Amino acid sequence: MEYSVIKYFHILGAVVMGAGLIGVWLTDLRSRQHRDLIRFSEAVRYIAVFYDGFVVPGAITLLISGTWFTVKYYGGWDFIKVPWLAGMIILFTLEFIEGNTITRLYFMKLRRITRDA
């Protein structure tokens, strides 16, 4: 039973994060088409809504459920012996760092600029 619950939350986190990333991507594409400042600032606001409302909660859900999976079923640090799992954990860590530094700072700067304009 516990395995099914963890698996459900892990899949839910992946779906929510994926939906948020698709939303961010589409609204970013849309924002690049606008020449009007008001429409552009609305598109930038929607980027923040998708990012803060979907991507971040999905990533946190993935982090918690993935950590739970690794500790419970792969013996904690023994995940290093499983190549695909070690690769996924390293990839998730790098993307989490990149997403919360470079990408987030870029969109926050863009939002600040449009708010000031």
- Other CB atoms closer than 10 Å to residue 72's CB: what's the count? 12
| Distance of alpha carbon 86 from alpha carbon 32, whole angstroms | 37
Domain ranges of the chain: 2-116
Between 34 and 88, whose confidence is greater?
88
Tens of pLDDT, residues 12-70: 999 999 999 999 999 989 888 888 888 888 888 888 899 889 999 999 999 999 999 89
Q: 100 pLDDT exceeds 80?
A: no
What is the rounded average pLDDT of the residues 85-100? 87
